[in-house]
């Protein structure tokens, strides 16, 4: 874990417990299976999602075990979705490591993903809170339907901005929203506070995905670990591409490549245009607005190190420029 990030400070102990919880999943008693699960769970992520649960609970004065259990469940679920995504996308590398599907085949990777989905659901049951458990399962539905919709929308250059926002909410924002929502529910917060914290997670999660989508058009292939314009090449239209379509209805490279015309050349043209016309800057502005909206949800929350850390985490999400 990159403990250098300042927003970890108020929850160092709890994050350690989350890491221990992740490792405990590896002991199934089946040697070969344990090795496969280790390969997935051992990857050191930033644990942003569990940090949101833990900081929310800390800010609201909760000292129970619940938020640690939820934080662990949230990270397990995130790992399960990454595994299925990489399998579906035939990705070879994730966070600098060979993917399980590239090493063991798609069959094994799908089953280990199923196992991790189930392990996350068992972990959330340990909270003994039905509201949180139910929200968690609904989130898995959102995550998979968000991914499905992304696939159905391939090359659909006439999709609306609302459709894009709804899709990335499901694909990414829903788990952020559940992370903060559960932090509040498990702290015994009132409904207004829960709603505000849900709004915080939702807007921050959408901002996170918008930045992710922008990063696909920035830097070099070496920096981002995949070819620049990778989403566009696979027909997935994200905010910069949709802004380009909206603003330049005539002779548009995105529309052309969606129609199968000179794909490689048009990807290059589209990426150049995004940078030259200020579309990338404007996409960052959209993310920034979402971040401001997220932070506004914290306005009435009790002042504390944890609240300050949530604001820093929110900065961090936006600062992921290459």
Residues that bind a copy of itself in the complex, under the rule CB under 8 A: 28, 30, 32-33, 36, 84, 87-88, 106-108, 110-112, 114-115, 117-119, 121-122, 125, 128, 130, 133-134, 137-141, 143-145, 147-149, 151-152
CB under 8 Å to 12, separation ≥6 — which residues? 3
Q: Which residue number, 58 or 84, has a Cβ lying nearer to a copy of itself?
A: 84
The counts of H helices and E strands in the chain are 17, 2
Q: Which residue number, 133 or 239, has a Cβ lying nearer to a copy of itself?
A: 133
Is the separation of the CB atoms in 127 and 133 below 8 Å? yes
Pair type for strands 93-94 and 97-98 = antiparallel
Q: Which residue number, 135 or 269, has a Cβ lying nearer to a copy of itself?
A: 135
CB-based burial label for 134 (10 Å; 0-12, 13-18, 19+) = exposed
Work out how close the CB of 43 gets to a copy of itself at its nearest, in angstroms, rounded to a whole number: 19
CB under 8 Å to 222, separation ≥6 — which residues? none
Work out how close the CB of 112 gets to a copy of itself at its nearest, in angstroms, rounded to a whole number: 7
Q: Which residue number, 16 or 151, has a Cβ lying nearer to a copy of itself?
A: 151
Work out how close the CB of 23 gets to a copy of itself at its nearest, in angstroms, rounded to a whole number: 16
Q: Which residue number, 54 or 143, has a Cβ lying nearer to a copy of itself?
A: 143
Q: Which residue number, 53 or 87, has a Cβ lying nearer to a copy of itself?
A: 87
Cα(253)–Cα(271) distance, rounded to whole angstroms? 9
Which letter does DSSP use for residue 173 in this model?
A: I
> Angle at CA 215, nearest 5°, toward 245 and 45?
140
Q: Which residue number, 5 or 125, has a Cβ lying nearer to a copy of itself?
A: 125
Cα(320)–Cα(4) distance, rounded to whole angstroms? 15
Work out how close the CB of 99 gets to a copy of itself at its nearest, in angstroms, rounded to a whole number: 14
Neighbour count for residue 251 (Cβ, 10 Å): 8
Cα(208)–Cα(176) distance, rounded to whole angstroms? 9
Work out how close the CB of 79 gets to a copy of itself at its nearest, in angstroms, rounded to a whole number: 14
Q: Which residue number, 16 or 134, has a Cβ lying nearer to a copy of itself?
A: 134
Length of the chain: 322
Q: Which residue number, 147 or 277, has a Cβ lying nearer to a copy of itself?
A: 147
Work out how close the CB of 116 gets to a copy of itself at its nearest, in angstroms, rounded to a whole number: 9
Work out how close the CB of 190 gets to a copy of itself at its nearest, in angstroms, rounded to a whole number: 22
Work out how close the CB of 246 gets to a copy of itself at its nearest, in angstroms, rounded to a whole number: 23
Work out how close the CB of 304 gets to a copy of itself at its nearest, in angstroms, rounded to a whole number: 31
CB under 8 Å to 132, separation ≥6 — which residues? 66, 70, 124, 182, 185, 186
Burial 89-112, CB ≥16 within 10 A → b, else e: eebeebeeeebbbbebeeebbbeb
Is the separation of the CB atoms in 315 and 292 below 8 Å? no
């Amino acid at each position: 874990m990159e403990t250098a990030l300042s927003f970890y400070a108020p929850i160092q102990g709890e994050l350690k417990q989350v890491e221990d919880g992740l490792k405990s999943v590896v002991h199934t008693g089946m040697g070969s299976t344990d090795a496969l699960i280790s390969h997935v769970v051992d990857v050191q992520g930033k644990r942003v999602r569990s940090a949101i649960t833990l900081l929310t609970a800390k800010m609201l004065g909760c000292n129970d075990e619940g938020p640690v259990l939820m934080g662990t469940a949230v990270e397990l679920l995130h790992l399960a979705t990454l595994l299925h995504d990489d399998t579906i996308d035939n990705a070879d590398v994730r966070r600098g490591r060979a993917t399980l599907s590239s090493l063991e085949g798609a069959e094994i990777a799908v089953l280990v993903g199923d196992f991790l989905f189930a392990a996350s659901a068992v972990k959330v049951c340990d909270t003994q809170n039905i509201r949180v458990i139910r929200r968690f399962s609904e989130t898995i539905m959102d995550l998979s339907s968000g991914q499905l919709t992304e696939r159905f929308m391939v090359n659909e250059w006439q999709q609306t901005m609302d459709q894009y926002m709804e899709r990335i909410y499901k694909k990414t924002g829903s788990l952020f929203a559940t992370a903060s929502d559960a932090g509040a529910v498990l702290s015994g917060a009132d409904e207004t506070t829960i709603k505000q914290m849900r709004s915080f997670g939702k807007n921050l999660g959408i901002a996170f995905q918008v930045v992710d989508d922008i990063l696909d058009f920035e830097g070099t292939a070496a920096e981002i670990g995949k070819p620049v314009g990778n989403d566009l090449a696979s027909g997935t239209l994200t905010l910069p591409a949709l802004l380009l379509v909206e603003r330049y209805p005539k002779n548009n490279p995105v529309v052309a490549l969606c129609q199968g015309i000179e794909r490689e050349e048009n990807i290059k043209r589209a990426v150049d245009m995004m940078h030259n016309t200020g579309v990338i800057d404007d996409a960052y502005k959209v993310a920034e607005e979402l971040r401001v909206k997220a932070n506004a949800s914290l306005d009435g929350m009790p002042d504390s190190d944890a609240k300050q850390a949530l604001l820093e985490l929110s900065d961090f999400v936006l600062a992921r420029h290459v």
